[in-house]
Amino acid sequence: MAEKGAAGVAPDDRCAIGISFGNSYSSIACTIDDSPVVIANEDGDRQIPTVLSYVDGEEYTGNQAKALLVRNPKNTVVAFKDFLGQEFKSIDPTHCHAAAHPEDKNGVISFTIQDKAEGEPSTLSVSEISTRYLRRLVQSASDYIGKKVTSAVVTVPTNFSEKQREALTKAAQDADLEILQLINEPIASVLAYDARPEAKLEDKIIVVADLGGTRSDVAVIASRGGLYTLLATAHDYEFAGVQLDKVLMDHFAKEFMKKNANVDPRENARSLAKLKAESEATKKALSIGTNANFSVESLAEGIDFQMTINRLRYETIARKVFDGFNRLVESVVKKAGLDVLDIDEVILSGGTSHTPRIATNLRSIFPGTTNILAPSTNPSALNPSELQARGAALQASLIQEYESDDIDQSTHPAVTTVKHISNAVGVLTLSEDGETFTPVIAPETAVPARRTVHVAAPKDGGSVLIKVVEGGTHIKVTKPEPKPKENGTKEDEDEDSDFDSEEEEEEHREKVWKIGSTLAEAAIKDIKKGGKVEVTITVANDLSVTITAREVGGKGGVRGTLKAP
Amino acid sequence: PSLPEGWAAEKDFKPIGAITASTQRTIEPVGPHFLAHARRARHKRTFSEDDRI
């Protein structure tokens, strides 16, 4: 958003990509014929570890650098992205423990590493580390596209401060990369789904659970006519991929110690590094298969170690962490003032989202109507690791023809901050069980907004009264009769409650519309038998409302305007 | 609902209320629909004007 025009590139000379820059992994993506493609680097990796390492003056990134954590931890930098633009005292260096340590150098977070073949070690700021890493990412993209990449859209967490955004923009500029725009990570994931040709434009409430390596971020988003509004976010550093690695590390270490008493591979730095690397690999294998191998040559004191683990066992020992993800998702829905019944879609994003159990758990939290987009629960789901890079690439292709001034002005708060209606606006229709509310414009829709619905007129035709009203939702809880539960509803049938027989009181919860104040009435006369009425409601910037109603296929119709409140 | 007997209004339209509640929120500046919105906002066009172009 805060694009500083210094490194502006003329729109004609641009070659733009999308970058998802993470603490653990980064990805690069471009668009080919308007569809996003995630680019593999020269090692063939699409998820490129955010690691930078030096051996004998030679620079390594990605998986090559990650492998060097065992032999060369001191000259290897990991998990540095969240340090950009931060004060030294506010960072958490836990994840750097097994690699180069961050230090405070005149108020700048720095690392001291031997990056030259000879001579003294260099002290490099986190910004310089990021610049070098980004340069390599961009190089990989340029090699693939066959053209020099000049610009990029980069994804950032929603709680990234303005200072961090500026620091990232600066680090990119130093790598000769123009930042077109910084976009929020959850929004990039939503865009990756919404831009698919088969996607339908709908008003819906989406939860994006971005489960990463060192952090998990969950966001609730209102998607209204393709405009996205963040309703609530939460960030968690206790429940993420590394905690799952830890569970496996402890498990394998204990098994190792059963066979080799008094040798704890966690007590030696090098053994620990090997244990960690292989545990992560085993975890990934368990997301794909139901059995995985763990084997490390010379794990500790020259002893090889090998064993297998099945998914069920892993899910048992990792249950605590999985439960943490559930609580995190539930807490954000609550924070947004919503109920799980209000959620239409859950998008699982981030590397940890490949875990089948997490999707299964979320499936049981949400009602059957909620679409859970994860590979194990939905065959049409996209790869969770690729979503953000795809979203960024799409946004990059949309805005690369714009002048950077245009982008700045369009993303200005004057444009982005608008009123959102709190209640739904809809029409009342009559059915057997009285008046029902048909929402036309959903709550939390940004104005100006325009929506059209077709409502059926009474069977015999005739004249009708269109009543436009406000509506709010609330959750109706009905406790069924104590003994039989013949509710006649098909609510809970698709819950696969294998072993989460929670203490549900078998109550039936449903979302109902509460009819609010009437806004206007309009009459449509002499409708044909079986006819329909088209109602279009437009809410303007100042919340004035224009209503038009006419019979489908008919002429004329009624039109009226309500003044702004 | 059916039109009740004797309901009448000027041009068959009777305004009664106005939207009661709204909040100021920020839309995410991402996606094709946002860009369309930004274009309308900057040129101060309405939906129907935009449709005609």
- CB proximity list for B41: less than 8 A, separation 6 or greater: A415
Tell me whether residues B2 and A458 touch, CB distance under 8 A: yes
The residue among B14, B20, B28 with the most chain A CBs within 10 A of its CB, best to mutate, is B28
Q: How far apart are the first and last CA of chain B?
A: 38
Architecture of domain A241-318: Alpha-Beta Complex (3.90)
Q: Which of A444, A524, A560 sits opposite B15 (nearest CB)?
A: A560
- Is the CATH number of domain A420-477+511-562 2.60.34.10? yes
Does any CB of chain B come closer than 8 Å to the CB of residue A427?
no
Q: How far apart are the first and last CA of chain A?
A: 32
With cut-offs at 50, 70 and 90, classify the pLDDT of residue B21.
confident
Radius of gyration of chain B (CA): 18
Amino acid A491: pLDDT:
46
CA A558/CA B12 separation, integer angstroms:
7
Amino acid A189: pLDDT:
97
DSSP string, A484-520: -------SSTT---SS--------EEEEEEEEEEEEE
Amino acid B20: pLDDT:
83
Q: Which residues pair with A209 in a beta bridge?
A: A218, A348
Does any CB of chain A come closer than 8 Å to the CB of residue B44?
no
B44 contacts in chain A (CB < 8 Å): none
Tell me whether residues A420 and B42 touch, CB distance under 8 A: no
Amino acid A466: pLDDT:
86
Whether the bond into A448 is cis, omega within 30 of 0: yes
CA A19/CA B8 separation, integer angstroms:
60
Amino acid A475: pLDDT:
87
Amino acid A8: pLDDT:
65
Tell me whether residues B16 and A543 touch, CB distance under 8 A: no
Q: How far is CA A426 from CA A75, A250, A458, A535, A537, in A?
A: 62, 56, 18, 9, 8
Amino acid A431: pLDDT:
64
ipTM surpasses 0.85: yes
Q: Which of A201, A458, A520 sits opposite B15 (nearest CB)?
A: A520
Token pair, residue A241, equals 């991929």
- pLDDT tens for A159-177 read 999 999 999 999 999 999 9
Amino acid B9: pLDDT:
72
Protein fold of A199-238+320-382: Nucleotidyltransferase; domain 5 (3.30.420)
Does any CB of chain A come closer than 8 Å to the CB of residue B34?
yes
DSSP run (H or E) holding A310: strand A303-310
Domain A2-185+389-414 shares a fold with domain A420-477+511-562:
no
A157 contacts in chain B (CB < 8 Å): none
- CB proximity list for A416: less than 8 A, separation 6 or greater: B26, B27, B28, B29
- pLDDT tens for A513-527 read 999 999 998 888 877
CB atoms within 10 A of CB A479: 9
Query: If you search the block for the tokens 């008046």, which residue do you land on?
Result: A435
Amino acid A432: pLDDT:
61
Tell me whether residues A521 and B14 touch, CB distance under 8 A: yes
B3 contacts in chain A (CB < 8 Å): 462-465, 523, 525
Architecture of domain A2-185+389-414: 2-Layer Sandwich (3.30)
Q: How far is CA A400 from CA A148, A151, A407, in A?
A: 15, 8, 9
- CB proximity list for B32: less than 8 A, separation 6 or greater: A195, A226, A398
If we measure between CA atoms, which residue out of A81, A155, A141, A138 comes closest to residue A395?
Answer: A155
The residue among A31, A180, A185, A187 with the most chain B CBs within 10 A of its CB, best to mutate, is A187
Does any CB of chain A come closer than 8 Å to the CB of residue B12?
yes
Does any CB of chain A come closer than 8 Å to the CB of residue B47?
yes
DSSP run (H or E) holding A474: strand A462-478
Tell me whether residues A519 and B9 touch, CB distance under 8 A: no
Does any CB of chain A come closer than 8 Å to the CB of residue B51?
no
Amino acid A130: pLDDT:
98
Amino acid A134: pLDDT:
98
CA B5/CA B7 separation, integer angstroms:
6
Tell me whether residues B30 and A463 touch, CB distance under 8 A: no
The domains of chain A are located at 2-185+389-414, 199-238+320-382, 241-318, 420-477+511-562
| Residue numbers in chain A where pLDDT is lower than 70 | 1-8, 414, 431-433, 461, 480-506, 554-555
| Closest approach of A559 to chain B, Cα-based (Å) | 7
